[in-house]
Amino acid sequence: MIAVERDAPAVVLETRPAEFPRHTAPTVPTRRSRPVWTERVSAAVVLVSVITSLGGGGLVDSGGAYVIQAHAAALHARWADMREKGIPGADLAELEQQWTMSQATIVFGAGGAFWLPGGTEALARWQSETDAIWSRDLNRYRADAVLTEQNLHQALAPETFVQRKSRLDALSQARTPLEFATLRDDWAMEARLVPIDHRIALGASAIATQARQAGQLGIRSDPAADVLARSNAYADLGPLGRMSRAEFLTRSLLSTQKSLQWRLDAATVAQQNLQHAADEISIAALYGIDLSSLQARITHDRELFANALTVAAFDAISADGKDVTANADHAIYVVMSQTHIVSGVTFIYQNHPLSCEEAATSMALTHQGIYVSQDQILNEIGADLRAKSVDAQGRVRWGNPYQTFVGNVNGSESNYTGFGTFYPPLVRVAKAHGANILAYGSMSAATIYARVIAGHPVVAFSTWDWAWHPRRDYLSFDGQWIPWIGPVYASHVYTVVGVSSSQVLVNDPIRGQYWISKGAFEAGYSDFNEAIVFA
């Protein structure tokens, strides 16, 4: 039995109600989560109190309890730091519960449980479990981040190491579960954004192409600039920013693309109709028809075109262009249904077997009051009298009629003794004598008709028999291919001085003046399609 002194000082016990951290829900301790030593805290406190009151403190190491309390508090603070660094609170909940129970009763500034044998082992177990939780979660979050990065790499394929390096660097620099979790979440979102970003990029590219087409057509593309600017800004955003804007931007791109395509289609048709109308007015001008009022409408339509923003506006422009074309066509039809003969052209026969082009030019010049004989024209043109030859490849080589007269003017195509000249030397001589030449070179038969109806004689290169023949082009000595139907068939040159609805009036330097059908004229003329229009 132990004697108790009546005057022994009373033992003061400091007790605190058990509290749970705000972020951890209280749970009912299980047999595993509530060690035996925690169940005996109250009894231990009483025992300590009695021993202390009797001076028997030698059974308790108060210095050890304080050390354990300090280490436990530091470990508790580490748990808070771990949660801030990404360790889930649930993973630390059991340790937090044990800490709370250890602090339910405080004896002399230390948890009552730490005064009992086994406190050191409990602290060691807490430390071990803490390290295990940190290591396990860190490895798990690191593995998640690595896998997510690999998935993103596959989604972005093909992707070079240089493009990927920034992510790999971020992985190597991450140190906490929170940092790995952040990388994981960002990269998972990036992977989800890959197809979305691709669609947005394609949409923006299509609209940029449409905007260029609109510029080439001369139309405005107001919505394109805004949506392209937003697409550029989208590309600079982070994953969360892009995800929040992706759906609205995608809808804007699709609607803008449709709107622009509708306008482009309507604008293309409108432009075609305006161009057709302008072409018809130009043709009418060749016939000498004054369509200035229709031209004014086309000018106004082009102004409307430049500012049109709706399909309806372009359709209205198209309709007016069609109406202008119809009016111009009617005016041309009226003129073409009549017979037109150019007056003031003196007929001249050729005085050499091959001087038809010089004779035809002399006739056309008389319409302007210019009289130059065919012999004078021949002298001013000059002649290449070299004989034709055949090269190693079997090609006929001869002079260049685009430069001078080829062969002897008194020769013949059939025996390669003479050929003639084409339009450039004739134009050069005519201009040297003050002639006004309106056009020369390649032109259609319809253009010739229009010029004649407008009162202009035309020198046309054709065939002798007014029939089409296969060409046997030869290679000139200076390397130019020359249109030629000889030596089997002969070419000829005429002065066109009249047109009716179905015929063409020609001055033939050998056979005289006569009407030839438009069909025959176009058949013979199509072998060369070259002419000179005189004022």
Instruction: Kindly tell me if the per-residue pLDDT of 15 is higher than 80.
Output: no
Residue that is last in its domain, among 112, 139, 166: 139
Identity of residue 34: R
Tell me if residue 533 falls in helix, strand or coil: strand
pLDDT average, residue stretch 70-74: 96
Q: Domain check: are 437 and 323 in the same one? A: no
Task: Give which of 320, 319, 345, 535 is closest to 440, Cα–Cα.
Answer: 535
pLDDT average, residue stretch 297-313: 94
User: Which residue reads 């660094």 in tokens?
Assistant: 85
Greater pLDDT, 265 or 26: 265
pLDDT value, residue 283: 87
Distance CA 126, CA 69 (A): 13
- Whether 65 maps to a domain, the answer reads yes
pLDDT value, residue 223: 85
Which residue blocks in 54-176 are alpha helix, DSSP H?
Answer: 62-84, 89-102, 119-155, 161-173
Instruction: Kindly tell me if the per-residue pLDDT of 251 is higher than 50.
Output: yes
CB-side neighbour CA atoms (13 Å) of 3: 3
- Whether 4 maps to a domain, the answer reads no
pLDDT average, residue stretch 228-253: 94
pLDDT value, residue 13: 35
Distance CA 426, CA 369 (A): 17
pLDDT digits (tens, 9 = 90+) for 168-199: 999 999 999 999 999 999 999 999 999 999 99
Distance CA 391, CA 368 (A): 45
pLDDT average, residue stretch 29-44: 45
Q: Domain check: are 332 and 184 in the same one? A: yes
Sign of CA dihedral 234, 240, 244, 246: positive
- What residues contact 127, with CB distance under 8 A and at least 6 apart? 75
Instruction: Kindly tell me if the per-residue pLDDT of 37 is higher than 50.
Output: no
- Whether 154 maps to a domain, the answer reads no
Provide the domain count of the chain.
3
DSSP state of 474: E
Task: Give which of 283, 287, 345, 343 is closest to 494, Cα–Cα.
Answer: 345
Distance CA 39, CA 29 (A): 11
Mean pLDDT of the chain: 89
Strand partners, 420: 406
Instruction: Kindly tell me if the per-residue pLDDT of 309 is higher than 90.
Output: no
Confidence of residue 265 (pLDDT cuts 50, 70, 90): very high
Instruction: Kindly tell me if the per-residue pLDDT of 345 is higher than 70.
Output: yes
Distance CA 518, CA 520 (A): 5
Is this prediction's pTM over 0.85?
Answer: no
Distance CA 325, CA 274 (A): 8
With 0-12 CB in 10 A as exposed, 13-18 as middle and 19+ as buried, what is 520? middle
Instruction: Kindly tell me if the per-residue pLDDT of 34 is higher than 60.
Output: no
pLDDT value, residue 16: 39
- Whether 144 maps to a domain, the answer reads no
Q: Domain check: are 330 and 351 in the same one? A: no
Residue 471, φ and ψ in degrees, nearest 5: -80, 150
User: Which residue reads 């400091």 in tokens?
Assistant: 14
Confidence of residue 7 (pLDDT cuts 50, 70, 90): very low
Task: Give which of 392, 532, 354 is closest to 475, Cα–Cα.
Answer: 392
With 0-12 CB in 10 A as exposed, 13-18 as middle and 19+ as buried, what is 251? exposed
Residue that is last in its domain, among 337, 364, 397: 337
Instruction: Kindly tell me if the per-residue pLDDT of 25 is higher than 70.
Output: no
Q: Domain check: are 308 and 349 in the same one? A: no
pLDDT digits (tens, 9 = 90+) for 464-500: 999 999 999 999 999 999 999 999 999 999 999 999 9
Q: Domain check: are 386 and 530 in the same one? A: yes
pLDDT value, residue 286: 82
Greater pLDDT, 28 or 349: 349
Helix (H) or strand (E) holding 208: helix 177-217
Q: Domain check: are 128 and 76 in the same one? A: yes
DSSP string covering 81-115: HHHHTT--HHHHHHHHHHHHHHTSEEETTEEGGGG
pLDDT value, residue 63: 59
- Could you tell me if 37 and 122 are in contact, meaning their C-beta atoms sit under 8 angstroms apart? yes
Helix (H) or strand (E) holding 429: helix 423-432
DSSP string covering 501-513: SSEEEEEETTTEE
pLDDT digits (tens, 9 = 90+) for 129-175: 999 999 999 999 999 999 999 999 999 999 999 999 999 999 999 99
Identity of residue 185: D
Residue 185, φ and ψ in degrees, nearest 5: -65, -40
Q: Domain check: are 266 and 188 in the same one? A: yes
Q: Domain check: are 346 and 331 in the same one? A: no
Confidence of residue 36 (pLDDT cuts 50, 70, 90): very low
Identity of residue 247: E
- Whether 273 maps to a domain, the answer reads yes
- Could you tell me if 153 and 203 are in contact, meaning their C-beta atoms sit under 8 angstroms apart? no
Helix (H) or strand (E) holding 335: helix 311-336
Q: Domain check: are 287 and 320 in the same one? A: yes
Instruction: Kindly tell me if the per-residue pLDDT of 24 is higher than 50.
Output: no
Instruction: Kindly tell me if the per-residue pLDDT of 21 is higher than 50.
Output: no
pLDDT digits (tens, 9 = 90+) for 386-436: 999 999 999 999 999 999 999 999 999 999 999 999 999 999 999 999 999
* 3-class SS shares of the chain: helix, strand, coil, % to 5: 55, 10, 30
Identity of residue 423: Y
- Whether 481 maps to a domain, the answer reads yes
CATH of the domain at 362: 3.90.70.10
Q: Domain check: are 278 and 351 in the same one? A: no
Q: Domain check: are 302 and 370 in the same one? A: no
Q: Domain check: are 311 and 227 in the same one? A: yes
Residue that is last in its domain, among 337, 372, 395: 337
- Whether 158 maps to a domain, the answer reads no
pLDDT digits (tens, 9 = 90+) for 145-158: 999 999 999 999 99
Range of the domain at 279: 176-337
Instruction: Kindly tell me if the per-residue pLDDT of 42 is higher than 90.
Output: no
Instruction: Kindly tell me if the per-residue pLDDT of 59 is higher than 60.
Output: no
- Whether 277 maps to a domain, the answer reads yes
pLDDT value, residue 234: 95
